[in-house]
Amino acid sequence: MKVRRVRQQLVSQPLPDVAGEVTRQLDRLRADVRGKSIALTAGSRGIANLAAITRAAGNWLKAHGAHPFLVPCMGSHNGATASGQRAMIESLGLTEEAMGLPIRSSMDVVQLGTVATGDVWMDRACHEADGVLVINRVKLHTCFSGPVQSGLMKMMVVGMGKIRSAETFHSTPTARMKDMILEMGDVILQSGRILAGLAILEDGIDQTAEIHLVEPQELPEREIELLETHRGYFPRLPLEDLNVLVVGAIGKTYSGTGMDTNVIGYRGVRSFEDLESPRIRVIAALRLATASQGNAIGVGLADFITRDLRDAIDEEKTLINVLTTGDMIRAKIPATYPNDEALLQAIERRYGASGWAFIPNTLHLETLFVTPDLAEKLTGNARCVVEEAPLYVTYEGGALQLNFD
């Protein structure tokens, strides 16, 4: 099969001094933190410069007389255990040694209130602190649409509430999630435990573009504004219709659902409207990212996978995470082939050799490969540069060989 390499001209706007920007933003904080214990939240996503941002925030707090510590806040992720969640943040570089902060990891929670679908909870260490500095990236959510999606409010509602609040939130009918995140968030804000938020925006090639201090009284209005800014950065496929999409790797380091549903155009949620585009006939996934530590949520969004991906799945971690969301399509095991070569040749025999695109994952879309028919459609696209020389899809030991660098 012939393919052409395409370079997307995505928005690139990296902050020149990430740690310095954290300091500048925290200098705007109105609250006095001297002598106070402050919890810093840490999630499991692949956020660029997360270690640098967290370390700078901890250093600022210590310089201003506070006693900061780090709390893993990731709902039901990594087996929903204290040791699993600590191991996850440590794998992201958030160790006690690197951060200069103690880590307090526990699944113990305190009830704050009740909403229609259940109780609202907060991690006990966060609740017993004098304040919580919420750190998270603001972006589109993979399950629902609304003015507030994935960001500071979600970290407060799902991350800080561990599996208990995650179950409450995901028990909400999908159509009402946009309202429930605000209802549960209000309960948390009313607790008085939120010191402030550090909202991170990333550009189109996964670089830190903006960092904003958000005072608790500004939530969620400020997050609505930041989500709109994020839309201008968000990377997308340059095509509306694909016959086959081959995804090199899935995993929570790329998206909360393994593959970003806003990129593939498919949420995998029954009885809820799906995304209108892109329209993709067949999706193949080849690997599970090592950083996902066995959690293969979203594997069911693919139609075909390799044995390599299937063998990398930790069923217990995956099922805990998927069962918490309640969208069980995302845990189903697709048709499995022994290796990349066997899988892709089977798809080609059944669905033809035109209309294919290859991407490394759904987070990094600056480089992709497409078949000649799609390359022709992209010629003249102001956002794309199509390389002249055609390449052939090749395999080494059954593994696909395409250079996305």
- Closest by CA to 104, choosing from 31, 50, 160, 166, is 160
Summarize the confidence of residues 401-405 as an average pLDDT. Answer: 92
User: What residue has token string 């609250």?
Assistant: 31
Summarize the confidence of residues 60-68 as an average pLDDT. Answer: 98
pLDDT of residue 143: 80
Domain boundary among the residues 191, 207, 233 is at: 233
75 belongs to a structural domain: yes
Cα 180 from Cα 116, distance rounded (Å): 9
Question: Cα 36 to chain center, whole Å?
Answer: 31
Q: Judge whether residue 150 has pLDDT over 80.
A: yes
User: What residue has token string 């694909």?
Assistant: 242
Q: Judge whether residue 72 has pLDDT over 80.
A: yes
Distances (CA, A) of 47 to 82, 149, 235: 21, 16, 15
13 belongs to a structural domain: no
Same domain for 245 and 323, yes or no, is: yes
Collect contacts of 82-91 with beta carbons under 8 A, ≥24 apart. Answer: 82/106, 82/107, 84/293, 84/317, 85/44, 87/293, 88/44, 88/293, 89/42, 89/43, 89/44, 91/291, 91/293
45 belongs to a structural domain: yes
pLDDT more than 70, % of the chain: 100
Q: Convert the pLDDT of each residue in 96-129 to its tens digit.
A: 999 999 999 999 999 999 999 999 999 999 999 9
Summarize the confidence of residues 232-238 as an average pLDDT. Answer: 94
Same domain for 143 and 161, yes or no, is: yes
pLDDT band at residue 214 using 50, 70 and 90 as cut-offs: very high
Domain count of the fold of the chain: 2
Q: Convert the pLDDT of each residue in 284-305 to its tens digit.
A: 999 999 999 999 999 999 999 9
Same domain for 32 and 122, yes or no, is: yes
78 belongs to a structural domain: yes
In contact, 124 and 106? CB cutoff 8 Å:
yes
pLDDT of residue 340: 98
pLDDT of residue 75: 86
Strand partners, 369: 5, 358
Same domain for 44 and 68, yes or no, is: yes
Same domain for 117 and 243, yes or no, is: no
Same domain for 96 and 44, yes or no, is: yes
359 belongs to a structural domain: yes
Same domain for 157 and 175, yes or no, is: yes
Summarize the confidence of residues 78-105 as an average pLDDT. Answer: 94
Same domain for 372 and 251, yes or no, is: yes
Distances (CA, A) of 189 to 184, 215, 383: 9, 11, 41
pLDDT band at residue 239 using 50, 70 and 90 as cut-offs: very high
Range of the domain at 394: 236-401
Q: Hey, what's the torsion of the CAs at 127, 133, 139, 143, to 10 degrees?
A: 0
pLDDT band at residue 380 using 50, 70 and 90 as cut-offs: confident
Same domain for 267 and 210, yes or no, is: no
- Secondary structure class of 352 (helix, strand, coil): coil
Domain boundary among the residues 200, 233, 266 is at: 233
- In CATH, what number is assigned to the domain containing residue 119? 3.40.50.11440
pLDDT of residue 145: 84
Which are the contacts of 290, defined by CB distance < 8 A and separation ≥ 6? none
Domain boundary among the residues 233, 264, 279 is at: 233
pLDDT of residue 76: 84
pLDDT band at residue 341 using 50, 70 and 90 as cut-offs: very high
Q: Judge whether residue 405 has pLDDT over 90.
A: no
Q: Judge whether residue 277 has pLDDT over 90.
A: no
Question: Cα 358 to chain center, whole Å?
Answer: 20
39 belongs to a structural domain: yes
Same domain for 173 and 273, yes or no, is: no
67 belongs to a structural domain: yes
pLDDT of residue 103: 98
* Token pair for 404: 């996305």
Same domain for 35 and 84, yes or no, is: yes
Same domain for 313 and 207, yes or no, is: no
